[in-house]
Amino acid sequence: MDDLLRGLEPKLLWKYFLELSAIPRGSRQEAAAAAWVAAQGRALGCEVEVDEVGNVLLRKAASAGRAERPGVALQAHVDMVCEKNEGTAHDFARDPIPVYRDGDVLRARGTTLGADDGIGVAAALAALATPGLAHGPLEVLVTIDEETGLTGANAVRPGWLRSRYLLNLDSEEEGELTIGCAGGIDTVGSRPVTRAPAPAERVALRLKVSGLKGGHSGVDIAAGRGNALRILAQVLDAVLGSHDLRLAAVRGGNKRNAIPREASALVLADPGREAALRADVARLAAEWRSALGALDPGLAITVEPAAAEPALSPGDARAVVGLLLAAPHGVEAMSPDIEGLVQTSTNLAMADTRDGQVEVAFLSRSAIDASKRALGARIAATCALAGFEARHGGEYPGWKPEPGASLVRHVDAAHGALFGKPMVVKAIHAGLECGIIGEKHPGLEMVSLGPTLKDVHTPDEHVSIPSVERFWRLLCGVLERL
Ligand SMILES: [Zn+2]
């Protein structure tokens, strides 16, 4: 470790990072790492609190003469994503992360590095430990299990933090300041379906939509890519009646937070009309490929032989196709505050036919909680019109961007004074811990910042060493200014 530390600045931050990297801390297995954080806080003379799930809160009094300043909380998550290359003999439950230096970056041999968010934890501890650093009353909140469920943030007690400002240290691009995120809500519509005997002499065929790009249902929702379920519904709408098909099942999508790349329908066709059906599907595929153009050039719609299942009643089939045609998907509204930011969207994410019912699942997002709920209600109403019963779940709050807030101006001013240029102020259309923590602390002003990390959540994860040094100087500059 001493060899690695040589030439790395600031020393304290890197020392904490390397010590933390020696402790296993995959999500939901981070108890030892959280205990290490608490021990560092005790060693520094901080007030230490640990909550029921293992989040750690450290408090330190203001530096000399600054007790009247507003309190500042530094927040980071202690868990990390555990990914390794095939053939890498690494046990994430036991082995230290094999950190090494590669020129201007720090990496791990064949595994994720855990700079997401180990650098944030290390920076927060370094702020507590650095002699002579000017700051008001300081809190350090280290959360558990950000990566697989935001468990730590969700469990934070309302009012636990006393600070007026919160700096989340989990951003991945130096010079960028994140000031907002989206909340989310799941909606699942389900409809019991009855099976009716199909006319005799039918052939079972699978209509399959594939080859789409898909993507993250928040970050990529404005890209205009195809939704396999929606395209499938358009195809079914065009061919079910005209070719006297019976629908037996629809299936597609596999994650709530992914735009569906593939979907299929099982249909029972009159063998004498199969050739005409194939010709029609080929024509529809060409139309859709042309409509999507370069947005999704890989689209394929195919007809394959399949194993038969009993047919849905014609009324059920109409309802299922109708819902997949009519339900919202895509961008609902853009942000009036931040150019190019999606404010509200939904993802028509999954459909399945089993156990006597058809289920259709949506994930809606918005930075504005009222807009998110309104969209959930609209989806539920659309479901009801199609005879589906809708249930909501998995709701979490958004974080509305306020570009003119005083914390944003302070951080930007500190950056300008240090580096001679403004920060890039942005917000993301996906969930962050800030949205959840902020909801429990009305009036808490928040921003998120960090050094430059690349290829996070993969074994290629690496952090730019010079960006960490500049990130640290910015953090010190902000603490002094607030
Ligand atoms: Zn992170």
Cα 235 to Cα 247, 268, 285, 287, 324: the distances in Å are 12, 15, 9, 11, 11
| Distance (Å) from CA 26 to ligand 1 centroid | 12
Per-residue pLDDT tens digits for 168-206: 999 999 999 999 999 999 999 999 999 988 778 899 999
| Distance (Å) from CA 313 to ligand 1 centroid | 48
Residues ≥6 apart with Cβ < 8 Å to 481: 410, 413, 414
The ranges of the chain with pLDDT < 70 are: 1
pLDDT for the residue numbered 1: 65
Rg, Å, the chain Cα set: 26
In the annotation, is 412 catalytic?
no
- Check if the beta carbon of residue 207 is closer than 8 Å to that of residue 251: no
In the annotation, is 52 catalytic?
no
Which is the catalytic residue, given 139, 145, 146, 433? 146
Per-residue pLDDT tens digits for 392-430: 998 999 999 999 999 999 999 999 999 999 999 999 998
- Check if the beta carbon of residue 214 is closer than 8 Å to that of residue 261: yes
Residues in the chain: 482
Separation CA 6–CA 323 (nearest Å): 62
Burial of 356 (0-12, 13-18, 19+ CB in 10 A): exposed
| Distance (Å) from CA 117 to ligand 1 centroid | 5
Separation CA 279–CA 378 (nearest Å): 37
- Check if the beta carbon of residue 43 is closer than 8 Å to that of residue 16: no
- Check if the beta carbon of residue 168 is closer than 8 Å to that of residue 434: yes
Secondary structure of residue 8 in the 3-state scheme:
coil
Which is the catalytic residue, given 79, 186, 439, 461? 79
